[in-house]
A and B are shown apart, each in its own frame.
Chain A
Amino acid sequence: MSFFNQVFKGPQLAYYFKKISIAVFIFIVIVAGYFFSQLFFDLSKFSQFIFDFVLQRSNYNFAYFTSSIIGALGIISFVGLVLLVGSWVERRVIAKFQIRVGPNRVGPFGLLQPIADAIKLMQKEVLVPAIADKTLFLIPPVAIFLPAILAWGPIPWAPNMSYLNINVGILYVFAVSSLTVPIIFFAGWSSMNHYALLGSMRTVAMMVSYEIPISLSLLSVAIITGTLNFSEIVLWQSTNSIWLGLFMPFSLFTFFFASTAEINRTPNDIAEAESEIVAGYHIEYSGMKAGLFMAVELGNAVLLGALVTSLFLNGWFLFGIEKFVPPYIIFIGKTVAIYLLLIWLRATFPRFRLDQLMNFAWKTLIPVSIINFFVIAIEVTILNQFQSTGILIYIFALFNIFLFLGLIVVWSKIFSVDKFQPEKIQPKFAGEIGGLEAMKGVKSVD
């Protein structure tokens, strides 16, 4: 009885009641979530249903058009959700890394903070520089969303669930995202600001350099899978039961690292090196336009997560769990995991210097990528000699890992970038360049 008295005493009763009710609530959520997920297990059935529904009342073209619009709405609403929730997630997680609280005032856990931010940005005064090219100045904040949203098209969310089912999927994403570069340049140029122009030139030079390693790593994906279609790449990984990221770790590394340069995230966020060029190409943009630039960066980070997931991390498959959980939930889960990794990188790494980045792209990533895809091409030729690729593919995966660990060591030993040479970068004194009058009296330090 004493135990009973101990448990159900005044305030403790409420305490345990609270605990138990939370447990029951979680249980209900899990059960309901399970039934809910079974109901929405295959979203392609719904789109098929809508397609048939319209087809009965109208012709084929109109039905196709309607289903396309619904798909586009789905993508747009997903991107919108990502932009709203993503900024909150990023700020909260970064705050956890830096041992502070982060936004927690607006709404529960500060969840409404992004909306408050958006309203604040909309209310800000819009300043356009007087000498700016007014027409060109207005285009980039809108146009920069084109590549960011178009690239979501061929992403395979689940079996039979990708908006664009095209045979040149990888190349399409690559080509569309390469359109970001001129848009960034126009943003910098049209503000007619020294810092903006310098920032955009630097950014463009860097992005241009890092597009080549990306394309070479995509090439190795195409070599082994023999297709450029995203869904087929995911299916290839499941039939051969290996993640491509495991089979060719160097391609994964190249793609990931070079993409962080493409989307201007740490450690490669040269575009917004505020200690050097203030804010880079979007320094003159104010109010909602600046907000759009920030939003597109966030959207691109999540897009990178989706691309890495489908190309290297086996998409919607996860060791058989895909039979119980809806595939698109797994896909989004992996995407979010990559996004959290990006936040982790942002919290951990300092920014690289521009010359280091350029040297790394041209002297390390591109040559090693070329070697990489040749090695993979030879391996694919060998694999095709055998009927079943069972164990051999794992042996090759191990071989690849060790080969590229070795290559990185060799590369850093032999082709090391110029060592630190203090005499070359010593600053010139004012007296040396015939400057100040007062410098005449000063003797040189060395």
Chain B
Amino acid sequence: MIELTAYNFSFIMMTLITILPALGIAFVNSLMRSLLLLILSFIGVAGLFVLLSADFIAIAQLLIYAGSISILLLFAVMLTPEISINNENSKYFLLASLGAILFLYLMILLITIFDLNQLTGNALNKLDFDNTIEQIGTLLLGKYIIAFELASVLLLFALIGAISIVRSSESDFDVKIKDSK
């Protein structure tokens, strides 16, 4: 039986903050409300990272997911033509629930395979990192330098993809060609 220390209590609270809004996202009809719940869920995940003593990752989670990705999703929702505020009659309900069940099965498999005692927050907390950000920096520019560089290429592809959707018909490149003729 798990004893109810302050640490475990806060872990349970953070899990609830993560999971309950996540359930809400699936069952709330209004897209905007589910987006708000999504942001709450992201904040809960950041709290979980804090409990693992990974403060930099927690802040990154807050900044990238709760601050940026949510904006991206907001604009993506605003791009949709007038989906009514109430979109309860979704076509993909069966498919989505099938996917959810498969994912749950996968998660249970993963949990049973790994030795959970090594991965709990208590074990990590005992390591008591003083400053995670310096270690991340050393690793990122040393051992994982190729992943670091590839990340920028990936981001570039995303940007170019978006530009190709949005760009205006004529560019500065075209203008130069016209001038040379």
**Considering the complex, which residues of chain B in the window 41-56 have a beta carbon less than 8 Å from any beta carbon of chain A?**
55-56
Residue B22, interface by CB 8 Å: no
Q: Which chain A positions have C-beta within 8 A of B19?
A: none
Secondary structure dominating the interface of A:
helix
Closest to B129 in A: A167
**Considering the complex, which residues of chain A in the window 172-203 have a beta carbon less than 8 Å from any beta carbon of chain B?**
172, 174-176, 178-179, 181-182, 185-186, 189-190, 201
Residue A81, interface by CB 8 Å: no
Secondary structure dominating the interface of B:
helix
Inter-chain CA distance A423–B48, complex, in Å, is 57
Q: Which chain B positions have C-beta within 8 A of A123?
A: none
When each residue 202-231 of chain A gets 1 if its CB lies under 8 Å from chain B and 0 otherwise, what string results? 001000100000000000000000001000
Q: Which chain A positions have C-beta within 8 A of B130?
A: 167
Q: Which chain B positions have C-beta within 8 A of A175?
A: 59-60, 62-63, 66-67
Distance of B119 from chain A, by nearest CB (Å): 23
In this complex, which of A167, A189, A228 has the most chain B Cβ atoms within 10 angstroms of its Cβ?
A167
**Which of the residues A139, A168, A171, A178 comes within 8 Å of B68, measured between beta carbons?**
A178
The stretch of B31-39, B87-95, B138-146 that contacts the partner chain: B31-39
Do residues B33 and A182 form an inter-chain contact, with CB atoms below 8 A?
no
Q: Which chain B positions have C-beta within 8 A of A136?
A: 32-33, 36
When each residue 118-162 of chain B gets 1 if its CB lies under 8 Å from chain A and 0 otherwise, what string results? 000000000000111100000000000000000000000000000
In this complex, which of B55, B63, B70, B85 has the most chain A Cβ atoms within 10 angstroms of its Cβ?
B63
Closest to B61 in A: A175
Residue A439, interface by CB 8 Å: no
Asked, given contacts A178-B68, A204-B71, whether A167 binds B131 with beta carbons under 8 Å apart, the answer is yes
Inter-chain CA distance A175–B42, complex, in Å, is 13
Residue A370, interface by CB 8 Å: no
Inter-chain CA distance A298–B67, complex, in Å, is 22
Do residues A133 and B33 form an inter-chain contact, with CB atoms below 8 A?
yes
Distance of B58 from chain A, by nearest CB (Å): 8
Do residues B63 and A181 form an inter-chain contact, with CB atoms below 8 A?
no
Do residues B74 and A182 form an inter-chain contact, with CB atoms below 8 A?
yes
Inter-chain CA distance A186–B55, complex, in Å, is 28
Do residues B67 and A178 form an inter-chain contact, with CB atoms below 8 A?
yes
When each residue 228-260 of chain A gets 1 if its CB lies under 8 Å from chain B and 0 otherwise, what string results? 100000000000000000000000000000000
How many A-B pairs have beta carbons closer than 8 Å: the answer is 63
Taking residues whose C-beta sits less than 8 angstroms from the other chain, chain A's interface range is: 20 to 34
Residue B78, interface by CB 8 Å: yes
In this complex, which of A135, A185, A201 has the most chain B Cβ atoms within 10 angstroms of its Cβ?
A185
Q: Which chain B positions have C-beta within 8 A of A181?
A: 67, 71
Do residues A171 and B63 form an inter-chain contact, with CB atoms below 8 A?
yes
Closest to B73 in A: A182
Q: Which chain A positions have C-beta within 8 A of B131?
A: 167
Residue B116, interface by CB 8 Å: no
Do residues A179 and B66 form an inter-chain contact, with CB atoms below 8 A?
yes
Distance of A130 from chain B, by nearest CB (Å): 14
Residue A375, interface by CB 8 Å: no
**Considering the complex, which residues of chain A in the window 253-276 have a beta carbon less than 8 Å from any beta carbon of chain B?**
none
Do residues A168 and B33 form an inter-chain contact, with CB atoms below 8 A?
no
Residue B4, interface by CB 8 Å: no
Do residues A168 and B59 form an inter-chain contact, with CB atoms below 8 A?
yes
Inter-chain CA distance A331–B179, complex, in Å, is 58
Distance of B48 from chain A, by nearest CB (Å): 16
Inter-chain CA distance A168–B130, complex, in Å, is 12
Residue B6, interface by CB 8 Å: yes
Do residues A171 and B59 form an inter-chain contact, with CB atoms below 8 A?
yes
Distance of A131 from chain B, by nearest CB (Å): 10
Closest to B132 in A: A167
26 A-B pairs within 8 Å (CB atoms) are namely: A133-B32, A133-B85, A136-B33, A139-B36, A167-B132, A167-B133, A168-B55, A168-B56, A168-B59, A171-B60, A171-B63, A172-B59, A175-B62, A175-B66, A175-B67, A176-B62, A178-B66, A178-B68, A179-B66, A179-B67, A182-B35, A182-B39, A182-B70, A185-B71, A186-B36, A204-B71
| Beyond known contacts A139-B36, A175-B62, A182-B66: 10 more, CB 8 A cutoff | A167-B132, A167-B133, A168-B55, A175-B66, A178-B63, A179-B62, A182-B35, A190-B32, A201-B78, A204-B74
